[in-house]
A and B are shown apart, each in its own frame.
Chain A
Amino acid sequence: MSQVNRIAKGLVDKNKPLTFEFNEQSYQGYEGDTLASALLANGQRLIGRSFKYHRPRGIFSAGSEEPNALVQLRKGAYSEPNTRATSVELFEGLAACSQNHRGSLKHDLMAINDYFAPFLTAGFYYKTFMWPKSFWEKFYEPMIRASAGLGKLSGEPDPDCYDKGFLHCDVLIIGAGPAGLTAALTAGRAGARVIIADEDFLPGGRLNSETFEVDGMPGAKWAAQTVQELSTMDNLSLMSRTTVQAAYDHGIYSLLERKTDHLASSSGKPRQILWRVYSKRAILSAGSTERSMVFANNDRPGVMLAGAVRAYANRWGVAAGKQVVLFTNNDDGWQTAYDLLDKGIEVPAIIDSRPTVSLKAPEGVQLFSNERVIDTRGRHGIQSIILSNGTNIQADCLAVSGGWSPNVHLSCHHRGHPQWDERIHGFVPGGELPPGMTVVGSANGVFSLGAAIESGFEAAKSIVGDLGFAKPRETPPKAEDEPAEAAAFWYVKESTGRAWLDLQNDVTSKDVVLAHQEGFRSVEHVKRYTTLGMATDQGKTANILAMAVMADCSNKSIQDVGTTIFRPPYTPVAIGALAGRSRGENFRPVRHTPSHKWAEQAGAVFVETGAWLRAQWFPRTGEKHWRESVDREVLQTRASVGICDVTTLGKIDVQGRDAGKFLNRIYCNLFSTLKIGKVRYGLMLREDGMAMDDGTTARMAENHFVMTTTTANAVSVFRHMEFCHQCLWPEMDVCLISATEQFAQYSVAGPNARKLLQKIVDPEFDISNDAFPYMACGEINICGGTPARLFRISFSGELAYEIAVPARYGHALMEVLKQAGKEFEAVVYGTEALGVMRIEKGHAAGNELNGQTSAQNIGLGRMVSVKKECIGNTLSHRSELNKEDGLRLMGFKAVNAADDFKAGAHLINPGDASNTENDQGWISSKAYSPSLGCVVGLGFIKRGHEREGEAVRVVNLLDGTDIEAKIVSPHFIDPKGERLRV
């Protein structure tokens, strides 16, 4: 088709033709067109099919409020459904297709739904698909799923990339229409840092669609000149193609900038950027959206908003029809007739619902005042309209103007409720606006151009004054105030056919009436029951019409009916934009220990521990199952020597004259008495007396301690200690700093641990058992003068040390330890073997210190010092935490060595029913012990310390197992600790 509806003028560039495809048919448009304007120019009125009834639908509006013209844009992996053709900027090679039909767009097989309309009213799914019950899963649900939804996902990963960013400004201006541009000029000239954002690719708002003048020149020209001046300001950023999606707390706004949606390809650059803008103030100049009126068959292709019809004519040089009839309840609608006639488009009639109209009908145009349109004819496009007096008028386009509704959406994002303004028969922003927000222009119900410009100027002037900038002395741009009388008229009661409210979700006035009949009286309930306003357009053109119907049903005013409010986002946002760069391998940051590269090369299997990647085990050639690797690592460590990277455990440097006193309050046991060169195990309690974390703390000097924490709690313990230092005991001389990253730290454990270390420790340092006994620590040199710290501590129960070097040597030290360990067949072990050995030894870890257990439960009740105060001391003495039959940590061994049980299983006495009344406790940790040849566990059981040797059942109701076990000492290996002290 050639551009049969293209007319002269408009703001498109006719020197730049563009070829595009719709439903695989080729068309032409121009640079500056939207897909909608280009389709209209080519006479394509039928764009899609409605959601439920599959009725033919065409373009309804000219902006992001579009409910009908949703297309599938692009192809293959780039394909995006539900894209509003009115918001798509035309580019060379654009490909789009219609949605929601089976068979062709013109002959949709699902159009049969329209005949079943009486059965498909609001809420029909609550009353149907009930019988027979078995049909639901096999038949009804799959059928509904196949029919539901609009558009299709490509099913492939999104090939585009996205990004995010942060911007800061004094004033954020939302909307670059006349009020917004004026505000930007004012604030920018005053020197404020300004960001002005508009969803359109051509700033100017309605100025680009109207023929009014500003400062004596056409509005579009004034907008272009203003934009030019704004672009020269260093302190101002004009962001077009950018939708302000949300108003968050503290003056933070979310903006979605479309960087490449108007191009054929993103060329590897981010397609869209989601900006977080921190603003001191915001001016909401988002304009208003026209509304329709409700009458039978008001959804046919060719029924359009009057403001949109003249926008197509004025901005895009497109006639929406050859014979355009106007139906209006206000003066603004008449402007459409004037503009179309001025461009040579036939306007057979103006139908004005008002009894008295002050405006005079142009020559050749028949005026029907106090009349209504009650019906339309024409299935795939309107052909005629029928008035309440029976007159039938031929028309291929019906421009409807039911008034304008301020775009209040962002003002609601802090749950502010819009207020009814009788003056404009609409809701304006009200209630609690987001702090710092001012609303101007038609977004605030100021509909005439001159007044809108002035409101933008005054708001900006006031804001810059508040922010400390010099208030401007100039006056606002001059524009006239066009006629703006309107009378409330919402729907044509004498219409008998179905009349649409929400075009996108196919909700009619009958649905709202039915909802009322069925007892849904609140606007919130009507919304959910009918789904009105719940489609991707959030009911921008529908909501208030429904409220009018509700008001009529309930004999209330619209004000009393009230309105629902809006949540972000203002328009749909691709999930990819919300994800930004957080996808795939880079979904989140990872932390590597200094030996990571070594471990990778050694074939380690890694596990995520928070952000850390830790080696879990090191499979060797021939090992087919992880147990083989882990069992080998455990056995070899206990037989000779094993090396494990323990860098990830938190290390906190504590210094100061009051360091010892500080630690006494943090830990439940005493630390001020710890000698220099010694290490002590410490247990931290929460304020409520429950165990929080444990670790070892070494005293390096009189006023210098080094504390270790578990990996998982490194941050929380440090935060806790800083809180105590800064808020609880600021009078103490103590300072804290994390040293977790400063040192690479390795555990060297096993009977040959000392011998291995003696090969690398410089000879002047004596690490014999006499010179460096169990729980000793000190600064040493290794490998010819490299500084290191050595701690004789053991988690495995074997003779063990932890050696720490500056992280720069971490990789090298691992290599050296492995090399030096060759003669002892030293094995490098991972976290799995580490876990097995600590369970065998009976060490409590995170599973036991899970926030639900006390020092008493863990068997460390006596560690809670009575000689000093500490966090958790007082509440740890609560009677409930010190009951005689309280839980105690014990060991559990399956009677039958071949049996297995899981952590989380519960403990029940033999013969008792497996229920909560008989629950004796639970298994907290479990492992296969290669040292003992069976599964062992640690767990908490009532009166555990008195029940060693007793039988108990380990019951797991999830997998149905019920294992006979024996209660034993939690120290399966070396209960007397002899190996530790050799």
Chain B
Amino acid sequence: MSNYQLNAEIPLAGYSYHFDGVDLFEIRNRAMVSMATPKDGELALECQLKQAYGLGMPDMGQWLSSDVDHTQFLRLQDDLCFVLFDYSADRAMEKFTEKISEAYFSEQSDSWVMLRLSGEKSREALARICPVDLHPGVFKPGCVTRTVMEHIGTIIVCEAEQEYTLMALRSYAGSFLHAIELSIKNVTP
């Protein structure tokens, strides 16, 4: 057996800060797997999802969640969903495929830095860097989309009123955090 051991690190070392009117923290212990629908395999996948999670594939640009492991399905593409669930160990894909097999999977847990932004000024702060129309009548709880913030590709999820999950590629973590922090500082006292 190897004498060496590897310790895991999360991109922003568990960042958490409370601003006046806004909270921002790094989401931890959530695994992510991409789930692609095989050609002509929509029905089979839908059946498995209903059986395992009690829900079908969300509509495009929408997310659905299940109580099972707090699993959340983000529909970003016609044939692709990102799946998030509570899990922090290795091999998240294998964990997920215990329940679902009728799709093509790819491990994504380490690809993304995930931040939760919430509070009464969160929409105002986001408006400084997010081109998406964040009006509550347009980008409602249940919506998810890809966009670009400060030249960084981002996934934005509306979790609830004035509560968002923001995801960017892991390598951009430092720049991404700076962009969001600066936006918050520019709108708060």
Contact = CB atoms under 8 A, between A and B. Distances in A.
B110 A588 contact: no
Of listed B106, B127, B171, B182, residue having the most chain A CB within 10 A: B171
Interface string A420-445: 00000000000000000000000000
Contacts of A719: none
A813 B186 contact: no
Interface residues of A, number: 62
A478 interface: no
A761 B132 CA distance: 46
B182 A741 contact: no
Contacts of A588: 151
Interface string A723-736: 00000000111010
Contact of B91 (A269, A581, A586, A787): A787
B165 interface: no
B45 interface: no
A617 interface: no
Interface stretch (B7-15, B47-55, B62-70, B156-164): B7-15
A591 interface: yes
Interface in A696-721: 703
A812 B175 contact: no
Contacts of B6: 782-783, 786, 805, 809, 812-813, 816
B4 interface: yes
Interface residues of B, number: 52
Nearest to B79: A735
Contacts of B86: none
Contact of A763 (B1, B79, B90, B174): B1
Interface in A29-49: none
B111 A742 contact: yes
Given A759-B2, A812-B8, A655 B175 contact: no
A783 B110 contact: no
A819 interface: yes
Contacts, number: 151
Interface stretch (B19-27, B34-42, B114-122): B34-42
B4 A164 contact: no
Interface string B152-179: 1000000000000000011111111011
B140 interface: no
Contacts of B150: 581, 589
A341 interface: no
With most chain B CB atoms within 10 A of its CB, the pick from A782, A807, A813 is: A807
A806 B110 contact: yes
A639 interface: no
A743 B107 CA distance: 10
A589 B4 contact: no
B133 interface: yes
B112 interface: yes
Given A592-B174, A742-B107, A760 B38 contact: no
Contact of B8 (A164, A738, A740, A808): A808
Nearest to B8: A808
A722 B106 CA distance: 16
Contacts of B183: 163
Nearest to A653: B106
Interface in B83-128: 90-91, 104, 106-112, 127-128
A591 B111 CA distance: 13
A740 B106 CA distance: 12
Contact of B171 (A269, A270, A591, A784): A591
Interface stretch (A165-173, A202-210, A380-388, A453-461): A165-173
Contacts of B186: 163, 269-270
A982 interface: no
B171 A657 contact: no
Nearest to A658: B39
Nearest to B174: A592
A626 interface: no
A586 B169 CA distance: 17
Name A's interface SS: mixed
Given A741-B169, A812-B7, A735 B2 contact: no
A416 interface: no
Contacts of B107: 739, 742, 806
A591 B172 contact: yes
A278 interface: yes
Contacts of B5: 783-784
B80 interface: yes
A808 B110 contact: yes
B60 interface: no
A120 interface: no
A737 interface: yes
A593 interface: yes
Contacts of A785: 90
A737 B152 contact: no
Contact of A166 (B127, B173, B175): B127
B106 A278 contact: no
A345 interface: no
Nearest to A166: B131
A760 B176 contact: no
A657 B175 contact: no
A791 B26 CA distance: 33
A528 B22 CA distance: 52
A164 B128 contact: yes
A656 interface: yes
Nearest to A819: B4
A270 B5 CA distance: 47
Contacts of B176: 589
B18 interface: no
A812 B109 CA distance: 17
A945 interface: no
Interface in A547-590: 581, 586, 588-590
A201 interface: no
A808 B9 contact: yes
B34 A168 contact: no
B57 interface: no
Contacts of A346: none
Interface string A588-632: 111111100000000000000001100000000000000000000
A662 to B, nearest CB: 12
A339 interface: no
A820 interface: yes
Interface of B: 1-10, 34, 36, 38-40, 79-80, 90-91, 104, 106-112, 127-133, 135, 138, 150-152, 169-176, 178-179, 182-183, 186
11 contacts: A163-B183, A741-B112, A759-B2, A759-B4, A760-B2, A783-B4, A787-B90, A787-B91, A808-B109, A810-B9, A812-B7
Given A193-B135, A591-B171, A592-B173, 11 more contacts: A164-B128, A167-B127, A591-B172, A594-B170, A655-B36, A655-B106, A656-B104, A763-B1, A783-B5, A784-B4, A806-B8
